[in-house]
């Protein structure tokens, strides 16, 4: 009708910043993290006006870490807003980390005006070209709508995208038809199933296994496969081993979990069902001497290029993790097959779990001061709520904490990840706390940091205080990277000459007062030396929903993880 035609042609005025914000909101982007300046201040303001929550960070790298974590936690990408040149370069680490972890994130960078390109404009830099190495998509669009920019980072294996916005596009007022401003949301990725014949073959390989093992990876967490996965494990009675961020898809205290016998399980398994995990450094490439040379791998992955990486699979199941686990579950239920619970394999794994638990308990119950890692994590684990989100980074802090701090819910552990990135902790914690504040589920966010890892982004405690994000930070402080020295040794070294010449490169300032950084911004800070102080400070922090807390836990600088036994690593096979 003529009326409809008039409405179709009706025009509205909008700035580039408004169109960017509306386009993000249309794609169900709910959170934006960044640091503003020319030319992107108006983009942040427009995002807030559109209903997007904006969190101003202290470093672009931490902002990008936070935005990517939102993508993992919620299933919709977070946005990271940065200025041109150095600001964008600072965010590249976060983009690379998101791409390696396969987490969706949209990075929006301001850049020089179009009429100043190649003229030496302020902070001019080849930003689109630089980002192509660290993203799935990188471009300076002529139109500001983002539907076709979101799709590449949500379909297939998720990742990062970079959208370059020229400064003169931000504030330019343009006429836009009403219908053009109504942008549809990118639809969910299509779900693909594995070939039925391959499913049947995979079940046959599992049935023939004497020592089967299910490995649950971060990809299964990204694929929201926890319900089907639990049903499959409990129906088949197979032992499972979660990777670090696969923890929680099934509870760590599940009777089929063999994480406490990880090395033995990997070494002796004759069939491995690999669910959304990569045979990279985290899983020792699937190769001897950490795996049986004749192990058969049933590989389940969303990405065809991942199939056969390092180890040729006996069966390759390509498609959506949740859908494929459901296919496997259907076959197992139809056949009525279960792996027997009285096998020699189960007895071997249970004996190793008990032996390792005994060693860890002995270390945890040591009463000497300073405390060791195991003592700290033993008491922390007793006090943490089962539904808390645990963020962890560091060397021994992350490795030992992974074995002692249980996860009971999916996507409730965030750590250094596939890229092994240090400095992610506080950004991840801010993202988790921002999501929790919006959803109000009553879940605590606990960030467990090594003192070296904390230093990468320690200034973000101000961000936590500014937005009243009640994160509980536990800094396990051993005065160094891997190991440090005590204050007396440090003083003696200082007498020997210039510390730049005599101090070991792994050392940090002994007993640094990280707790006072938190109190300086209005949060709670605690200096902890004893078990009693640790338990008291943690209980008080967990009860406080008004402000963040930091526990600076001083431990023995020489504390280390328990000795790992690899009897198969002889000179003949090294």
The answer to whether residues 331 and 438 belong to one domain is: no
- Strand 524-528 to strand 549-554: parallel, antiparallel, or no bridges (unpaired)? parallel
The answer to whether residues 212 and 158 belong to one domain is: no
In this structure, is residue 356 part of a structural domain?
no
Whether residue 370 has a cis bond before it, omega within 30° of 0: yes
In this predicted structure, the answer to whether residue 10 has a pLDDT above a threshold of 70 is: no
Phi, psi of 28, deg, nearest 5? 60, 35
In this structure, is residue 474 part of a structural domain?
yes
| CA 83 to chain CA centroid, nearest Å | 25
Query: What is the domain-level CATH number for residue 102?
Result: 3.40.50.970
The strands making up 296-301's β-sheet, listed across from edge to edge, are 240-242, 212-216, 271-275, 296-301, 315-318
In this structure, is residue 388 part of a structural domain?
yes
**Structure confidence at residue 141 (pLDDT):** 84
The answer to whether residues 381 and 495 belong to one domain is: yes
Domain tally, the chain: 3
In this structure, is residue 461 part of a structural domain?
yes
The answer to whether residues 148 and 254 belong to one domain is: no
The answer to whether residues 312 and 377 belong to one domain is: no
Confidence of residue 179 (pLDDT cuts 50, 70, 90): low
Give the separation between CA 276 and CA 306, rounded to whole angstroms. 10
Q: Which helix (H) or strand (E) holds 45?
A: helix 41-49
In terms of pLDDT, which residue wins out, 567 or 188? 188
Helical axes 344-364 vs 373-383, angle rounded to 10°: 100
**Overall size of the chain counted in residues:** 574
The answer to whether residues 167 and 203 belong to one domain is: no
In this predicted structure, the answer to whether residue 390 has a pLDDT above a threshold of 60 is: yes
In this structure, is residue 324 part of a structural domain?
yes
The answer to whether residues 295 and 147 belong to one domain is: no
In this predicted structure, the answer to whether residue 187 has a pLDDT above a threshold of 70 is: yes
Domain that holds residue 318: 196-350
- The tens digit of pLDDT for each residue in 306-321 reads 999 999 999 999 999 9
- The tens digit of pLDDT for each residue in 100-144 reads 999 999 999 999 888 888 888 888 999 999 999 999 999 998 766
The answer to whether residues 204 and 333 belong to one domain is: yes
Query: What is the domain-level CATH number for residue 248?
Result: 3.40.50.1220
In this structure, is residue 190 part of a structural domain?
no
The answer to whether residues 417 and 451 belong to one domain is: yes
**Structure confidence at residue 9 (pLDDT):** 44
Task: Decide which of 120, 144, 175 is a domain's last residue.
Answer: 175
Name residue 215's beta-bridge partners.
241, 274
Task: Decide which of 285, 316, 350 is a domain's last residue.
Answer: 350
Which tokens is 41 given?
A: 């201040």
The answer to whether residues 413 and 304 belong to one domain is: no
The answer to whether residues 345 and 372 belong to one domain is: no
In this predicted structure, the answer to whether residue 216 has a pLDDT above a threshold of 50 is: yes
- The DSSP 8-state label assigned to residue 145 in this structure reads -
Global pTM value: 0.94
**Structure confidence at residue 178 (pLDDT):** 52
**Structure confidence at residue 568 (pLDDT):** 46
In this structure, is residue 76 part of a structural domain?
yes
**Structure confidence at residue 563 (pLDDT):** 62
**Structure confidence at residue 143 (pLDDT):** 65
Query: Over pLDDT 70: what percentage of the chain?
Result: 93
| CA 472 to chain CA centroid, nearest Å | 18
Task: Decide which of 320, 350, 380 is a domain's last residue.
Answer: 350
The answer to whether residues 293 and 209 belong to one domain is: yes
- The tens digit of pLDDT for each residue in 158-175 reads 999 999 999 888 888 876
Q: What is the mean pLDDT of the chain?
A: 93
3-state helix, strand, coil split of the chain in percent (to 5) is 45, 20, 40
* CB 106, CB 66: distance < 8 Å: no
Helical axes 373-383 vs 396-404, angle rounded to 10°: 40
| CA 545 to chain CA centroid, nearest Å | 24
In this structure, is residue 182 part of a structural domain?
no
């Amino acid at each position: 009708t003529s009326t409809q035609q008039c409405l179709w042609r009706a025009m509205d005025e909008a700035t580039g910043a408004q169109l960017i914000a509306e386009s993000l909101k249309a794609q169900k982007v709910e959170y934006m993290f960044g640091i503003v300046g020319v030319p992107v201040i108006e983009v942040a303001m427009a995002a807030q006006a559109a209903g997007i929550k904006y969190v101003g960070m202290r470093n672009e790298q931490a902002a990008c870490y936070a935005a990517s974590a939102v993508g993992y936690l919620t299933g919709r990408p977070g946005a990271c807003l940065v200025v041109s040149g150095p600001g964008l370069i600072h965010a590249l680490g976060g983009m690379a980390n998101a791409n390696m972890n396969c987490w969706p994130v949209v990075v929006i960078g301001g850049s020089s005006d179009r009429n100043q390109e190649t003229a030496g404009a302020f902070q001019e830099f080849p930003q689109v070209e630089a980002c192509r190495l660290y993203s799935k998509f990188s471009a300076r669009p002529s139109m500001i709508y983002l539907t076709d920019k979101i799709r590449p980072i949500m379909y297939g294996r998720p990742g990062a995208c970079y959208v370059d916005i020229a400064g003169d596009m931000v504030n330019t007022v343009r006429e836009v038809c009403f219908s053009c401003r109504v942008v549809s949301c990118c639809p969910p990725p299509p779900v693909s199933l594995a070939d039925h014949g391959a499913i049947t073959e995979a079940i046959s390989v599992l049935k023939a296994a004497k020592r089967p093992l299910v490995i649950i990876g971060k990809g299964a967490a990204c694929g929201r496969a926890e319900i089907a996965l639990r049903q499959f494990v409990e129906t088949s009675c197979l032992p499972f081993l979660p990777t670090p961020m696969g923890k929680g898809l099934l509870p760590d205290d599940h009777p089929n979990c063999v994480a406490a016998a990880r090395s033995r399980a990997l070494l002796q398994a004759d069939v491995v069902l690999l669910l959304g995990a990569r045979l990279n450094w985290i899983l020792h490439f699937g190769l001897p001497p950490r795996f049986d040379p004749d192990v058969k791998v049933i590989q389940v992955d969303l990405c065809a290029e991942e199939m056969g990486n390092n180890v040729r699979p006996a069966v390759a199941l390509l498609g959506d993790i949740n859908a494929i686990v459901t296919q496997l579950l259907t076959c197992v239920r139809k056949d009525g097959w279960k792996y027997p619970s009285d096998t020699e394999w189960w007895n071997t794994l249970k004996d190793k779990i008990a032996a390792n638990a005994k060693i860890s308990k002995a270390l945890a119950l040591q009463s000497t001061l300073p405390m060791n890692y195991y003592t700290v994590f033993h008491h922390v684990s007793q006090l943490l709520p089962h539904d808390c989100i645990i963020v962890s980074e560091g060397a021994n802090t992350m490795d030992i904490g992974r074995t002692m701090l249980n996860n009971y819910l999916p996507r409730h552990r965030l750590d250094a990840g596939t890229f092994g990135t240090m400095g992610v902790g506080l950004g991840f914690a801010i993202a988790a706390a921002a999501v929790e504040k919006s959803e109000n589920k009553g879940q605590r966010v606990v960030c467990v940091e090594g003192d070296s890892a904390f230093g990468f982004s320690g200034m973000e405690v101000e961000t936590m205080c500014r937005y009243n994000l009640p994160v509980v930070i536990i800094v396990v402080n051993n005065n160094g990277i891997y190991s440090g020295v005590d204050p007396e040794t440090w003083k003696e070294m200082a007498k020997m000459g210039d510390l730049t010449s005599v101090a070991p490169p792994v050392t940090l300032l002994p007993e640094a007062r990280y707790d006072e950084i938190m109190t300086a911004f209005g949060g709670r800070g605690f200096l902890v030396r004893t078990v009693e102080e640790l338990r008291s400070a943690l209980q008080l922090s967990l009860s406080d929903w008004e402000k963040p807390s930091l526990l600076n836990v001083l431990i023995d600088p020489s504390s280390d993880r328990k000795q790992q036994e690899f009897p198969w690593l002889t000179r003949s096979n090294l």
